[in-house]
């Protein structure tokens, strides 16, 4: 990057000029009207999700490069689409910026978003840039889904297996390694890199949907319940149970963890990271045992059945190696953004 670009500030350019510079991150055909026109396939429903991210609350200059902040913001929204069973159609980006932010920071943010979107064959289709005392990123993502394949939180039924598509706790571990470098000493380079990457470049699990539908193709009446684990695994199971009016039993030893946790964290810490750490962007899905087994086998790489849906409303954590009573999980144990 040349020094002229890196010293140029948003206030030097003005809103119109900055918007023009950012248009190179968008497909040419959608630029220049009051709104973007998107094409969805006939017979599919439109799925919409929105996130607002604030500097100092949801991302930090200390632990996050602008590229990573952009990637993570895009990934979070694509993960919400995956959680509904939907394929991405595009995103819009609203950006609030203090005048003293450098133009290169903004372009690197867009670069990170675009890298993530391209990986999942989608793009930025519109946006807005305004002045704000705090850097704020508002993303709305659009997807399409065949109506009888919509994954809803409310569709879990007693007897369903609870599937996770990968390990939990890695993203939170990566964040802790960035915030507290002294924690790195008991990890080898590969372990450190993998955990930090899990935080910086989370992968929305859009890739698992075709496999899921293939396995269920002969049983079209099965409704899959689910959501993503962006607010933690415990939160995901609790939300699904609340929406479905059911309970669940989770098997402590079945929750897939990063291998490094074995020698790096106590069992209690590891469980806390997995249940409440958040931002792993895996899917938590509820479906009958037989297709769930096939799904988990074919996914490999940390996918697992971690428990079952039960009657009642309690979500219990059971540990078959211990004689202690089951632990009851509740939403208040998780993160509450305002009240912490």
Q: Please return the burial class of 24, using the count of CB atoms within 10 Å of its CB with bins 0-12, 13-18 and 19+.
A: exposed
Task: For residue 268, give the DSSP letter.
Answer: H
In whole angstroms, give the CA distance from residue 256 to residue 275: 11
The contacts of residue 60 (CB under 8 Å, 6+ apart) are none
| 51 annotated binding-site participant | yes
- Taking the least distance from each CB to a copy of itself, the nearer of 11 and 111 is 11
CB of 194 to a copy of itself, least distance (A): 26
> What is the closest distance, in whole angstroms, from the C-beta atom of residue 7 to a copy of itself in the complex?
16
CB of 77 to a copy of itself, least distance (A): 9
CA distance 194 to 34: 42
Whether residue 12 is annotated as binding a ligand: the answer is no
Query: Would you say 319 is a known binding-site residue?
Result: no
CB of 40 to a copy of itself, least distance (A): 6
For a copy of itself, the closer CB: 99 or 210: 99
Q: Nearest approach, Cβ of 151 to a copy of itself (angstroms)?
A: 8
Residue 128 assigned ligand-binding role:
yes
Query: Is residue 50 a known part of a binding site?
Result: yes
Tokens of residue 88, six digits:
């991405």
CB of 188 to a copy of itself, least distance (A): 36
Residue 24 or 131 with smaller CB distance to a copy of itself: 131
* Bridge partners of residue 92, in order along the sequence: 126, 140
Q: Is 261 annotated as a binding residue?
A: no
Q: Is there a binding annotation on residue 193?
A: no
Interatomic CA distance for residues 260 and 193, integer angstroms: 11
What is the H or E stretch that residue 309 is in?
strand 304-310
What is the rounded distance in angstroms from the CA atom of residue 299 to the CA atom of residue 315? 26
Q: Choose between 96 and 232: whose C-beta lies nearer to a copy of itself.
A: 96
Q: Please tell me the distance from the alpha carbon of residue 279 to that of residue 199, in angstroms, as a whole number.
A: 7
335 marked as part of a ligand binding site: yes
Q: Judged by CB, which is closer to a copy of itself: 183, or 243?
A: 243
Region of 101 (left: φ > 0; alpha: ψ -120 to 50; beta: rest) is beta
Is 302:170 a contact under the CB 8 Å cutoff? no
The residue among 78 and 260 lying less far from a copy of itself, judged by its C-beta, is: 78
Instruction: Say how far residue 303 (Cα) sits from the centre of its chain.
Output: 16
Residues within the annotated binding site for Mg(2+)?
34, 49-51, 80, 128, 228, 231
Residues within the annotated binding site for substrate?
58, 279, 335
Residues within the annotated binding site?
34, 49-51, 58, 80, 110, 127-128, 153, 228, 230-231, 279, 335
Residues within the annotated binding site for ATP?
110, 127-128, 153, 230
């Amino acid at each position: 990057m040349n020094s002229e670009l890196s010293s140029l500030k948003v206030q030097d350019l003005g809103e119109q000029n900055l918007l023009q510079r950012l248009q190179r991150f968008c497909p040419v055909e959608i630029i220049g009207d009051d709104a973007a026109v998107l094409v969805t396939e006939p017979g599919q429903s439109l799925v919409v999700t929105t996130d607002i991210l604030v500097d100092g609350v949801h991302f930090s200059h200390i632990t996050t490069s602008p590229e990573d902040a952009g990637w993570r913001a895009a990934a979070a929204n694509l993960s919400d689409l995956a959680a509904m069973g939907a394929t991405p159609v595009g995103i819009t980006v609203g950006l609030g910026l203090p005048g003293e932010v450098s133009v290169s920071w903004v372009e690197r943010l867009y670069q990170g978003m675009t890298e993530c979107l391209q990986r999942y064959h989608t793009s930025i289709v519109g946006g807005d840039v305004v002045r704000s005392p705090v850097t704020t990123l508002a993303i709305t993502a659009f997807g399409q889904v065949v109506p009888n394949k919509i994954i809803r939180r409310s569709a879990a039924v007693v007897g369903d297996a609870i599937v996770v598509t990968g390990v939990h706790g890695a993203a939170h571990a990566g964040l802790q390694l960035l915030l507290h470098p002294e924690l790195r000493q008991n990890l080898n380079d590969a372990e450190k890199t993998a955990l930090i990457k899990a935080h910086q470049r989370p992968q929305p699990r859009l890739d698992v949907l075709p496999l899921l539908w293939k396995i269920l193709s002969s049983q079209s009446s099965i409704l899959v319940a689910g959501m993503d684990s962006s607010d933690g695994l415990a939160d995901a199971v609790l939300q699904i149970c609340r929406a479905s009016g059911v309970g669940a039993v989770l098997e402590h030893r079945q929750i897939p963890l990063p291998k490094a946790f074995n020698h790096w964290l106590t069992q209690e810490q590891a469980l806390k990271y997995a249940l409440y750490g958040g931002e792993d962007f895996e899917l938590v899905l509820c479906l009958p045992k037989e297709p769930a087994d096939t799904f988990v086998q074919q996914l490999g790489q940390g996918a697992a059945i971690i428990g079952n849906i039960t009657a009642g409303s309690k979500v219990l954590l059971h540990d078959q190696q211990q004689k202690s009573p089951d632990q009851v999980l509740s939403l208040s144990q998780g993160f509450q953004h305002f009240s912490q």
